[in-house]
Amino acid sequence: MTPPSPSQPKRILFVCVQNSCRSQIAEAFARMYGNNTIEPYSAGFRPSGKVHPKAIAAMRELSYDMTQHRSKALSEIPNLKYDIVVTMGCGDECPAVHAKHRAAWDIADPTLLPPEQFRAVRDLIGAKVKDLLTNL
């Protein structure tokens, strides 16, 4: 396991169930707001194998292209010590990942919501990521 050096970007891992929506959106916002000071990752403990089309469309509205993102299992991400692991909606099922800090964001899966409500969840995730980065 590689520890971060003082000059390395902060490593953040966003975890949800399928890594198809919430954690993907959070990773995208971390890339948008991180100004190269963040090394964001996302994964799921039961990955779907694809990024949800609603997530891609919602981020496209903000000029972020998620078409190159892919749904990943926790076993596919680097074995690093993360500065923070943020879990979203997986409760007690979220596996332990080596991290200095942990946060649990109770954000419901928005995939079945209509577009306006989906955007509200996207914007909530964006605000939480912005707040997280401000307080790192």
Give the predicted TM-score (pTM) of the model.
0.90
Which residues, listed in sequence order, are joined to residue 42 by a DSSP beta bridge? 14
Number of domains composing the chain: 1
In a domain, 56, yes or no: yes
In a domain, 128, yes or no: yes
Mean pLDDT of 2-24: 82
In a domain, 1, yes or no: no
Q: Note the pLDDT tens digit of each residue in 107-125.
A: 989 999 999 999 999 999 9
The DSSP 8-state label assigned to residue 37 in this structure reads: S
pLDDT above 80: residue 93? no
Domain extent for 35 = 10-134
Q: Is 115 helix (H, G, I), strand (E, B) or coil?
A: helix
The DSSP 8-state label assigned to residue 80 in this structure reads: B
Per DSSP bridges, beta strands 38-44 and 10-16 are parallel
In a domain, 106, yes or no: yes
Q: Where residue 72 sits, what CATH number does that domain have?
A: 3.40.50.2300
pLDDT above 80: residue 1? no
- The residues that are catalytic are 16, 90, 94
Q: Note the pLDDT tens digit of each residue in 33-43.
A: 998 899 999 99
